[in-house]
Amino acid sequence: MVISLPFMKIKSNRHPKSVPAKPSPSIRHYSSIVLDGPDRAPSRAMLYPVGFKAEDFLKPIVGIASTWSMVTPCNMHIDKLASEAAAGADAAGGKAIIFNTITISDGISMGTEGMKYSLVSREVIADSVETVAGCEGMDGLVAVGGCDKNMPGCLIAIARLNRPAVFVYGGTILPGCLTGTGRKLDIVSVFEAVGAHANKLIDDKELLAIESCAIPGPGSCGGMYTANTMASAIEALGMSLPNSSAQAATSEAKRDDCRRAGAAVVELLKAGIRPRDIMTKKAFENSITVVIALGGSTNAVLHLLAMAHSAGVKLTIDDFTRVGKKVPVIADLKPSGKHLMSELVAIGGIRPLMKILLDAGLLHGDCMTVTGKTMAENLAKVPPYPAGQTIILPLDKPIKKDSHLVILRGNLAPEGGVAKITGKEGLVFTGKAKVFNSEELAMRAILDGSIKKGHVVVIRYEGPKGGPGMREMLGPTAAIMGRGLGKEVALITDGRFSGGTHGFVVGHITPEAYNGGPLALVKNGDTIIIDAHKHELNLGISAQEIKTRRKAWKPMKPRYTRGVLAKYANHVTSASLGAVTDYNLDLSVR
């Protein structure tokens, strides 16, 4: 049979008898450039083998960015979720194309040189999603992410492209269980068991039992660690469908979330709603508010700054202080609390929490979301948490009356540092410095018992440029907790922390040591004062002594001179700016 199209005639026995009317060019703004007209026949020819039919060339192309891999349980199921999103887009009148990007595993690489690639992967993911969508003329996007760098990486790309898009969280893992005890486990349980083992609190057999059953299947780490923090932040931003952040990875609810996300992108194309219409300054304030209420990860500061930069929104670390003054911590979730994300899912997820915050005037209800409705409209009929639940506390009986994410400044952090202080550790710590020029050296000292009560562990030359890559310090902080020193030892670094970290910790210290920041000048035995009341981080020596030490300081040579780590170190900005790699580029016009 012969089919007539506006630009060609095709003879084939696999095409339908009729072709849908040509949709509005506005919803095929990018794909029409790649696929329409006689001269684009080679482009169309390349797509028949991957499943296109003639009528598909008249549909908007919806890219499905999948972060699937077998590198980590966080992402091992995402290929199936991507297929569900594709089916949803196709059923709604789009044509889906699934493509992959990379992922790494923090949990596996933590404490090794490999961890230096973790934050770098955020940029690689962002660049790759932008590259594929830009190259192939995709009109809209669904991005499905699991492990924590996937999420900001996808959102950075979505903001750069500014094409209608929805983010889908891959979902939280279910808890492991230690046989015979009923004790619920997650990955942080294993890290802390390492410290307990070093302190002879558990033996080899118990350590093996914990490691072998802590991770029971697919999904992201189970507490309010960075993955669940960022999923919640993105939902609060308006870039995920309601409840996407609070579903088990293996649930039917998550599969339905994916199908609805595919359909939602087609509706966003029709409505002309683009990411930057949603990712406004007020929307980022909503994200900060929800992260604080949940007691979320310090990484949220780094990632939200980077996402805002790509969206052309002026967000600074001082916005976290401004918003944090009025928002309490009300979620009793791990790592500093008792409960896992799966338990929060069981009582309704974060939506009732957001309704509480909205009703208290702490959220901007007029922000647009990917549903095409405002935040207030999305939350209007959300029921409250069940009576008697103990995971989310009342606003008037919080865990902490203001933010646990405390931005500190002082002579040790002139451009800022980020502390995670819930109040359980106390709000002021003064101690003597024990200085290490790498994470490995610090870890060795913690495990061999060299770190004692009253010490402030200083880990430096681990910043974005100095590491390079700004490694997370879950190993040392978990080892401190495992040795029973969580309230008696502090740790500060120009690196960063896993969302699983808790204790008296300060990261993201800027300027970093590699750039000659004051952290490079600290000596063993110096007094360090961390004061969350005053938002200060100070070195207890005179300004003259700092000046003298600075004159004697010599820069370190780059640790890498070839490859992705060298390129990253050459381009990355300060952590106080989000550790982005395109800061000097004008992203206001795309």
Catalytic residues: 498
Q: What three-state secondary structure class fits 575?
A: helix
Q: Which helix (H) or strand (E) holds 352?
A: helix 351-359
- With 0-12 / 13-18 / 19 or more C-beta atoms within 10 angstroms meaning exposed / middle / buried, residue 87 is middle
Q: Where are the beta strands (DSSP E) in 86-164?
A: 95-100, 140-145
Q: Which of 268, 264, 300 is nearest to 285 (CA)?
A: 300
Residue 57 and residue 44 in contact, taking contact as beta carbons nearer than 8 Å: yes
Q: Which helix (H) or strand (E) holds 185?
A: strand 183-185
Taking the CA atoms of residue 22, residue 28, residue 32 and residue 35 in that order, the dihedral angle to the nearest 10 degrees is -90
Residue 307 and residue 339 in contact, taking contact as beta carbons nearer than 8 Å: no
Residue 156 and residue 230 in contact, taking contact as beta carbons nearer than 8 Å: no
Q: Which of 304, 105, 331, 143 is nearest to 221 (CA)?
A: 105
CA-CA-CA-CA torsion sign (429, 432, 438, 444): negative
Q: What is the DSSP string of 229-256?
A: HHHHHHHHHT-S-TTTTSSBTTSHHHHH
At 590, which amino acid appears?
A: R
Residue 431 and residue 455 in contact, taking contact as beta carbons nearer than 8 Å: yes
Q: Which helix (H) or strand (E) holds 311?
A: none
Residue 218 and residue 250 in contact, taking contact as beta carbons nearer than 8 Å: yes
Residue 166 and residue 268 in contact, taking contact as beta carbons nearer than 8 Å: yes
CA-CA-CA-CA torsion sign (498, 504, 509, 512): negative
